[in-house]
Amino acid sequence: MSVTDSGRGDLDNRDLQSPAAADLQRRAYRALNEDGLVDFSVGLGLSFAALYIGLDRLAGVDMAAWSGFFPILVVLVSRGLRKRFVYPRIGYARVRSASPAILLMATLTLLLVAGLVVMTIYARRGLRPPAALIPWMLRVFALAGAWTLALMGRRTGLVRFNIHAAVILVAALASAAVRNTDYGLLLMLGLPGLALLVTGLVCFFLFLRRHPKPISEATHATS
């Protein structure tokens, strides 16, 4: 692992062969997820999906034009918060092997893109997708998020990721028992989304308190 003056580190696959290096990687993953922004981002994505269900399927508001904007907004908000508040405090590390957070975002982005492609195909043909298609697509979306969160819990040692995965899994199974499909999807997406949002914000504010922004040399010079 090499660290530059900017606080940036590179973890190469060749550096991760020994037990000591594996422990270093685990601690690096843990530090990178201390800020709670992964929780926040997943919660925001699930909340947007619940908003889509509530407005499009229950309130009759056409949300097709917004469905592709939501994932982009989640990524932009998460990256903006990291650059504005996290990196100035602790620097940043680049892990060359696939980190759990990267895997999570890649998996969810792939599922969202696949869903948008399917919806676009139906829209171009002037057809509405089968009623059962969207609920199952959203269940796959939620279960993929739960699986990746469980992986993150294993890689980082942070128990909250395992709890999030369990909450999403239970909500997904409970949604299948609700007779009204739309209300079941609101349960599956809305409750875990809210839980992850709150957890992420709490972790983020605790992170800011534990890591106050360092005073720049320029400030010292003028004081």
Instruction: Using CA atoms of 65, 117, 43, 104 in order, give the dihedral in degrees to the nearest 10.
Output: -150
Could you read off the pLDDT of 127-186 as tens digits, one per residue? 777 767 777 777 887 787 788 888 888 888 889 999 999 999 999 889 888 888 889 989
pLDDT at 57 over 80: no
Whole-structure pTM value: 0.72
Please state which of the ranges 25-39, 59-73, 108-122 shows the lowest mean pLDDT. 108-122
Percent of the chain whose pLDDT exceeds 70: 73
Beta strands 2-3 and 92-95 are unpaired
190-205 confidence digits (pLDDT tens): 999 999 999 999 999 9
Q: Checking DSSP bridges between strand 2-3 and strand 8-11, what pairing results, if any?
A: antiparallel
Q: Which residue has the higher pLDDT, 74 or 64?
A: 74
